[in-house]
């Protein structure tokens, strides 16, 4: 379940100003910032995400769509995997 209300249908046109267009990632860095090669720090991207107004929407998108690479919503691939594991354990216990 998403935090967006009312739920959007995939075939509905998106409004002109979606979270993707409002993200600070559009203003800073290139692919190497948001998709750092192995061994390169993701810290620069995370610092930008800290000040982003749509960080939560970005993270939600990444979790819902199984984004496996890059920094989304201020979290790296490894951090998102941990978050998913914690969520799954919490839901199993409920």
Provide the annotated binding site for [4Fe-4S] cluster.
25, 49, 52, 58
The answer to whether the bond into 9 is cis (omega within 30° of 0) is: no
Which parts are annotated binding residues? 25, 49, 52, 58
CA atoms of 94 and 87, how far apart (whole Å):
11
**CB-based burial, 14-42: b 16+ in 10 Å, e otherwise:** eeeeebeeebbbeebbeeebbebeeeeeb
**45, 36 in Cβ contact below 8 A?**
yes
């Amino acid at each position: 379940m998403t935090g967006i209300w009312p739920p959007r249908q995939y075939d509905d046109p998106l409004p002109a100003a979606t979270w993707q267009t409002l993200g600070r990632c559009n203003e800073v860095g290139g692919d190497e910032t948001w998709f750092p090669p192995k061994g390169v720090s993701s810290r620069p991207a995370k610092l930008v995400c800290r000040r982003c107004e749509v960080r939560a929407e970005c993270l939600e998108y990444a979790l819902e769509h199984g984004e496996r690479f890059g920094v989304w919503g201020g979290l790296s691939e490894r951090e998102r995997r941990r978050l998913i594991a914690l969520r799954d354990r919490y839901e199993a216990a409920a």
